[in-house]
Amino acid sequence: MKPQHALNFIFGIYIFIFLTYLFGPLIIMSITAFNSAEFPSITPWECFSWRWFQEGKIAYDGQHLAGLASDWRLHDGLIKSLIIGTGVVILAVPIGMAASIVLTQVHSRLRTIFYSVSIMPVLFPGVIIGISTVVLWDRIATIGGEGFIADIGRNGIFLTILGQTCFISTYCFLIFVARLQRFDQTQEEAALDLGASQTQVFFKILIPYLMPAIASSAVIAFLASFENYNTTVFSILSDQTLTTVIASKVRLGISPAISALALVIIALTLIAAISYEILRRREDRRKKERQDLLLFEQTKDSRLQKNEKKSFKIPKSVFVILFLMVVGIFSFNQLIKNNLYGPACVTAAEEAKKSKFSEQLKLLQQNQVSDDALQEGELGGNQDYGDIFGDPNLFKDFGGFD
Amino acid sequence: MIRYWEKIYAKSENIKAYALLFPALLMVILAMASPMLLTFVTSFHTQVSMMEIDTTLTLGRYKDFFSKPVYTTLLGRSIKISFFVTLVTLITTYPLAYYIAFYVKKNKMLWIVLMTLPFWTSYLLRVFSWKVILGHKGVVNSALMALGMIEEPLGFLIYSQTAVVLTLAHAWAAFAILPLYVSLDKIDKSLLEASYDLGNSKFQTFWRVTFPLSLPGVIGAILIIFIPTVGDYVTPQLVGGTDGRMLSNMIQALFGRANNFPLGAASAVIMLFSVSLVALIVTYVTRKVSMRMS
């Protein structure tokens, strides 16, 4: 083997491992969304079901494990996240744009200082930003007394928008700076020479030039706001956003409904990424065609003329889709064959669990200890702990909590 | 009167600029500067009782921070965990950025989009996916138990510092790939050819030419990962357990249940300063190293 080939081989293996590491957790999580068991897992596979996307289930102990469609907390959080995201976009994009325009105008020595001040918020840990916002507005609300100021000062959504804007506007700022660095200042000067006012220059030249940056910074601002947790968890106060709902679910009881939610979000991301890529390619091709045409018209060189007949080529992506379909049909077939799909399977699994549960209950009832035995001690009863709870004066001198 | 102001407004470019800037400036002051300042001032106060705060300025909270071992331990642990996260992320992503920059000829953009795809899904869900995998009833443990390789779930997988490092390194990979790729892609290929012509081997070329030239990207990646991970709060809370708890969790507790705002503010300020210090040291050292190399 040539050393070149060996290197390529090692790279190939490495990339495979890395991609597994990058996507493996997400794929495994997505698969667990279809397992009907209450705990997200793969190996004790009960049944293939859609229940975590729908109404969830009521456990045998009466606890309701909500699915995606029936969880009002998630819906509530989602709406609040959307409101906050919109608010952040409205505030952060103009701020970032204004700051970036200032950066191009100020003197070169001031520029370094201004730049470092502008990117400061990114360096602050999000926790501190959230806490500071809450502390400040609590003061303002206290000073302002009752009424409007107190209302907005203690409104979680308002505080979250402010707190997130603080560092998200910096992301927007960086995007605008990157775009403005390639801006041709002579365009502005030409417009001014031709008699345009400053306002006209701003709206007819600068804004159209910045349009792609405006779009991408709006998208990034919205996504960053949507998935922020560190700042939001403090500034949201008593309200809940989608991320804080998810966090409380992840911490307290992790259920496959979260996997289902993750799968939905991943699917949306994938669709967005693919459509973006398709649009970008189409745009590239159109631009190239236009350039070719222009070149041909200028030179009249017949070799540059495009011959119109196009041979039909099967795009490669079709094979991928076909492969996925075949795998899907095959595995679904396997599921049906092994009775692992459908309501019958789910009820069977529930029955099995219920009977196991009642067996354990019976076992517990058999081993039950009588009340008298508990009084006496030996078995972890009252006597074993020096009979502290038998003392009638136990809470007599207790003044209560401050 | 109004006309007078209009005249001034039309005449002076500076005033016009400030007028345009005013909303942004107001926002920066309202959302950014004043909360920070208030936190800074609060750190010199004293919590007397539940509701009361004594506003005489004192350094007592900073003394508290450094006299109680809990806080310094947590600060040290935060920095240690972030250091390992940065190291792991750099080591795992550098070869990949290198591959995309030098070996991929077509569809570079597609690769970049693919690498950053997990970043677009929610950060919390990525943490959750690790919990699903590493948890006591998680995929790894239940698979090993089903195969009969272990009797009881492996306890060290989750709720440990290792779990925190692994989760964070996975979550921040995309942030490291981008700056590394940009700095590697910018390298002039003729420099590499010159290096080969002068008799350097592949490894020597990498070590003497490619790596020093990619150092700006490396510094960028280090800062981008290190700074937010020191202050990270949700990952240690979800997968860290008691052993993997970090300083931000303590700060949160001080502002919440422990109800000691001044001490919490002091911890926040100290964290901020130590992060800035480490960031400065990293930048300084790498710059020195890159100067010596070139």
Domain count, chain A: 1
pLDDT at B246 over 50: yes
When CB atoms are compared, the residue of B20, B127, B248 closest to A127 is: B248
pLDDT score at A9: 86
The residues, any chain, with a CB within 8 Å of residue B91's CB and separated by 6 or more, are none
Region A206-232: what's the mean pLDDT? 89
Q: What is the mean pLDDT of residues B218-224?
A: 86
The DSSP annotation for A314-333 comes to: --HHHHHHHHHHHHHHHHHH
Confidence of residue A390 (pLDDT cuts 50, 70, 90): low
- A116 lies in some domain: yes
* Burial of A289 (C-beta count, 10 Å sphere; 0-12/13-18/19+): exposed
Secondary structure in 3-state letters for chain B = CHHHHHHHHHHCHHHHHHHHHHHHHHHHHHHHHHHHHHHHHHCCCEECCCCCEECCCCCHHHHHHHHCHHHHHHHHHHHHHHHHHHHHHHHHHHHHHHHHHHCCCCCHHHHHHHHHHHHHCCHHHHHHHHHHHHCCCCHHHHHHHHCCCCCCCCCCCCCCHHHHHHHHHHHCHHHHHHHHHHHHHCCCHHHHHHHHHCCCCHHHHHHHHHHHHHHHHHHHHHHHHHHHHHCCCHHHHHHHCCCCCCHHHHHHHHHCCCCCHHHHHHHHHHHHHHHHHHHHHHHHHHHHHHHHHC
Q: Which of B50, B124, B276 lies closest to A402 in CB terms?
A: B50
Distance from the Cα of A391 to chain B's closest Cα (Å) equals: 31
Is A248 inside any structural domain?
Answer: yes
Asked if B266 and A160 touch (Cβ cutoff 8 Å), the reply is no
Segment B186-191 mean pLDDT = 86
Which helix (H) or strand (E) segment holds residue A396: the answer is none
pLDDT at A87: 95
Give the mutation candidate from A101, A136, A139, A207 for the B interface (greatest B CB count, under 10 A): A136
Task: Tell me how far CA of residue A207 lies from CA of A40, A175, A181, A215, A222, in angstroms.
Answer: 49, 14, 15, 11, 20
Domains in chain B (CATH in brackets) are: 1-36 (no CATH), 71-293 (1.10.3720.10)
Helix A3-32 vs helix B161-171: angle between axes, to the nearest 10 degrees?
Answer: 110
Check whether A265 has a pLDDT greater than 50.
Answer: yes
Least confident range of A265-279, A351-365, A386-400: A386-400
**Facing A28 at nearest CB: one of B38, B132, B233:** B132
User: Is A199 inside any structural domain?
Assistant: yes
**How many Å apart are CA B209 and CA B211, to the nearest integer?**
6
For residue B46, give how far its alpha carbon lies from the nearest alpha carbon of chain A (Å): 15
A165 pLDDT above the threshold of 80 = yes
**For residue A242, is it within any domain?**
yes
Each residue's pLDDT tens digit, A286-314: 998 888 888 887 777 666 565 555 566 66
A234 touches B: beta carbon within 8 Å: yes
d(CA B128, CA A25): 9
Q: Is the pLDDT of residue A399 over 80?
A: no
Q: Does residue A233 lie in a domain region?
A: yes
Q: A89 falls in which pLDDT band (50, 70, 90)?
A: very high
| pLDDT attached to residue A402 | 41
Q: How far is B241 from chain A (nearest CA, A)?
A: 11
d(CA B122, CA B110): 21
Q: What is the pLDDT of residue B94?
A: 92
Residue A5: count of CB within 10 angstroms of its CB: 9
Q: How long is chain B? A: 294
Query: pLDDT tens across A26-80, in order?
Result: 888 888 888 877 777 777 777 777 778 877 776 656 666 777 777 888 889 989 9
Q: What is the mean pLDDT of residues B195-202?
A: 86
Question: Can you give the residue range of the structural domain that contains A143?
Answer: 72-254
Residue A32 and residue B248: Cβ atoms within 8 Å?
Answer: no
User: Over 60: is that where the pLDDT of A380 sits?
Assistant: no
From the list B27, B30, B120, the residue facing A269 with the nearest CB is: B120
- Least CB-CB distance to A44: which of B132, B146, B233? B146
Q: Assess if residue A165 is contained within a domain.
A: yes
Q: Which residue of B has its CA nearest to A262?
A: B125
C-alpha span between A173 and A110 (Å, rounded): 17
State the pLDDT at residue B190. 87
Residue in chain A closest to B103 (alpha carbons) equals A8
A103-148 per-position pLDDT tens digit? 877 777 777 777 777 777 776 777 778 888 887 888 888 887 777 7
Share of chain B above pLDDT 70, in %: 90
A250 within domain boundaries = yes
Judging contacts by C-beta atoms under 8 Å, the chain A residues touching residue B249 are none
Mean pLDDT, residues B73-84: 91
Q: Determine which of A13-22, A172-181, B130-139 has the lowest per-residue pLDDT on average.
A: B130-139
CB atoms < 10 A from the CB of A342, how many? 14
Percent of chain A with pLDDT over 70: 83
Q: Which of A37-46, A169-178, B53-62 has the highest mean pLDDT?
A: A169-178
pLDDT (0 to 100) of residue A38: 74
A246 to chain B, any CB pair closer than 8 A? The answer is yes
Partner-chain contact A25 B92, CB within 8 Å: no
Shortest distance, CA A99 to any CA of chain B (angstroms): 7
Cβ separation A132–B35 shorter than 8 A: yes
Cβ distance of B142 and A132 shorter than 8 Å? no
Is residue A350 assigned to a domain? no
Give the C-alpha separation, A188 to A105, whole Å: 13
Poorest-pLDDT segment among A230-239, A337-346, B110-119: A337-346
CATH number for the domain spanning A242: value is 1.10.3720.10
Task: Check whether B87 has a pLDDT greater than 90.
Answer: yes
Closest CA to B164 of B279, B224, B222, B82: B82
Flag whether pLDDT at B18 surpasses 80.
Answer: no
Tell me the chain A residues in contact with residue B23 when contact means C-beta distances shorter than 8 Å.
94-95, 98
Mean pLDDT of all residues in chain B? 82
